[in-house]
Structure 1
Amino acid sequence: MANNTASDCIETDIILENYYLPTMYSIEFILGLVGNVIAICGYIFCLKDWKSGNIYLFNLSLSDLIFLCTLPRLAMTYANNKKTVSSSYFSLSNRYILHLNLYSSILFLTWISIDRYLLLKFPMRQHILQRRSAAICICLLIWVLVTLQIVPILTFINNNDGNSTEFNDYASSGDPFKSLIYSLSLTVTGYLIPLTVLSIFYVKIATFLKIKDSQFQHAVSFQRPRALVCLAVVIFLLLLTPYHVMRNVRIALRMRTDYTKCTVILINSLYIITRPIAFLHSVINPLFYFLMGDRFREALLKKIRGVFERSSEVEMEQI
């Protein structure tokens, strides 16, 4: 009976890596690519007057698109049982881009929340942080800061297996003790601190909108933007928290050898499940571009209507 249980655990683990990960990454690539390409094209071709919030959203979209471009090969790698005939450059570059996207997205979303709050407090954009030059400098600082923050992760990835490269995730590579220290530090500085700041400003936004809602006595309803703000925080917590918890648990598990094989497989399986869920933000983010960016939404819809109207005119002329 014990052997059968171990066998079932091993089979579950293999199925998740060979089928669940490729399927989820493929879906994320297709949906995320469409949404982010539309967003980037909308900013470049439709939006003429860029505000600070547009700059943050554009950089967030760019970060998501760069990451999404790595997913097809990543899905193929897992479908081939983590074997790929290439140098270790792919492993390093993929892990770098993956974590760059994850932690830069968190910071961009944090600054978007700050920018939205400042817009409510200073609708005429008198605050220095609402200037385009300030937004550009902050975005550059975010790229540099996150790059420096995740460079150490490359030292923990060791993938050598003869003529081929075995593709291991960060939590399954390197010295577990050093890796755990770094992972915990990254969780605090890259996730928990930005999450706290983001939550504080979203609470400020929700409180401000609630006060305004009561002042206008339903003449103007702020329930929709308030619900959107709360939804953003909830989605953030649901997508990213399980991944960070299970990543640290997975690394800590490697430091001990007294666990049963089935327990190891179970924890590893839970960690595998959380990984693509964490990166669903690349698919969901374009919805926030559309819902939060009023000018962007209007410009994009105007451009789309113009394209359809021109197409109709051409068809009428041909008839």
Structure 2
Amino acid sequence: MATFDNNITSLTNSSAFYCRFQEDFKYILLPVSYALVFVIGLALNATALYVIVFRTKSWKPSTIYMFNLTMCDTLYILTLPFLIYYYADENDWPFSEPLCKVIRFLFYTNLYGSILFLCCISLHRFVGICYPVRSLYWVSARRAKLVSVAVWACVLLCQAPILYFSRTRDLESVRICYDTTSPELFDDFLVYSSAVSVLMFALPFMVVMVCYGLMVGKLLEPGWGSEGGERGGVSAQRSKQKSVKTIIVVLATFMLCFLPFHLTRSLYYSLRYLQQVDPSQISCRLLEASSVAYKVTRPLASANSCVDPILYFLAGQDVRSNLTKKIRSSSSRPTSVRKRLTTQL
């Protein structure tokens, strides 16, 4: 049976014209995918927070950025149970409108907060590789804290309109929690969403690509890292390995999580707007196809909450050593107790 969807039911110039889509797949896809992200992401981010807060003695700039990135992901993950219940109940929001606004606000805050903090990590690694001497002055824990505060302020300010656009509406015996906004505000939302996508996704993505292109060229230079002798060569090799892992994970996050989501969302929003302007140019079938593509990529955007901690564990040598020491100490504790008992006997 065809149902109204909060994201794709749009009022056109003709007040009696609606597109009615068959999208029952999302009532399985979204709850299942969000549940997986919740379980896996919560475990990974909780572990990362534990290591950062309790097992890291000195906080380097990269540690500060990863802490903020992990906090951003954790706040989002804690909102997923509400969305799991909402989509499993087939778009029936049982909670209040303010909570709907907060949930949608936290989703986009996490999305663009993750993008900007990944950009900060990329810039930090770029400066250390391409300008190692200048990085001694440019890169510091104090500067990283100031940059993190600026990122949070920028994200919260840019995402504040979500609290206005996100709304609930009673429709066909269910209460809808709009992912975008109500139909009458969609034109304004489209302008806002387009500006945010350019400023907080397209530009950071270009910065990351340029930084990594320059880093790869620097790392491929024959004499890179050989000036410091044998000890300097070992240190340079470790730095090179960290940089390569950072490049791989960050690019994978952008290509798999962020890029498909933004492309399909932009396509769907554009077609929806064009159909409102002239329903004869954009068929409901084409609009439905773009909506399906958009919904399929939404779990990918959420999956960045699971990928971000992997960046910390793979690229951080100190993290792996701390975890290894923790595991070894816990496993060797019974042996040491037995030795003390044997000695006393």
TM-score class, shorter: 0.7 to 0.9
Q: What is the one-letter code of the residue matched to 2:268?
A: R
Is 1:209 the counterpart of 2:232? The answer is no
Residue of structure 1 aligned with 2:271, choices 228, 232, 253:
253
Q: Give the distance between the partners of 2:186 and 2:87, measured in 1 at CA.
A: 23
CA contact (8 A) 1:36 1:61 kept: yes
5+ residue gaps, structure 1, are: 1-8
Aligned match for 2:296, one of 262, 270, 273: 273
Alpha-carbon contact 1:54-1:293 (below 8 Å) kept: no
Q: Is the 8 A contact 1:176 1:252 kept in 2?
A: no
Report the secondary structure of 1:170's partner residue: coil
Residue identity opposite 1:294 in structure 2? Q
- Report the Cα offset of residue 306 of structure 1: 1.9
Contact kept? 2:212, 2:247, Cα under 8 Å: yes
What does 1:1-319 align with in structure 2 at a 5 Å threshold?
Answer: 10-11=21-22, 13-15=23-25, 17-120=26-129, 121-122=131-132, 126-128=136-138, 130-161=139-170, 165-170=175-180, 175-211=185-221, 222=240, 225-226=243-244, 228-255=246-273, 256=275, 257-258=279-280, 259-310=282-333, 313=336
1:161 aligns to what SS in structure 2?
A: strand
**C-alpha offsets along residues 292-314 of structure 1, whole Å, 9 cap, x if unaligned?**
12222222322232233235556
Contact 1:82 1:168 in 2 (8 A): no
Q: Distance in 2 between matches of 1:267 and 1:60?
A: 31
Shift, 1:190, TM fit: 0.7
Measured in 2, the distance between the counterparts of 1:65 and 1:281 equals 11
**How far off is 1:267 after superposition?**
1.5
- Stretch moving more, 131-140 or 292-301: 292-301
Q: How far 1:132 sits from its partner (Å)?
A: 1.1
Letter in 2 for 1:304: I
Gaps of 5+ in 2: 1-19, 227-232
- String of CA shifts for 1:146-173, please: whole Å, max 9, x gaps: 1111112232222121796312212775
**Which shows bigger deviation, 96-105 or 249-258?**
249-258
Q: % of aligned pairs identical? A: 27
> Which whole-Å CA distance do the structure 2 matches of 1:305 and 1:173 have between them?
58
- Pairwise CA RMSD of aligned residues? 2.7
TM-score scaled by structure 1? 0.86
| TM-score, structure 2 as length reference | 0.80
| 1:36/1:318 CA distance change after superposition, 3 Å | farther
How many residue pairs are counted as aligned between the two chains? 306
Higher-Rg structure is 2
- More divergent stretch after superposition (50-59 vs 84-93): 84-93
2: CA distance, partners of 1:79 / 1:314:
51
Is the contact made by 1:29 and 1:71 (CA closer than 8 Å) also made in structure 2? yes
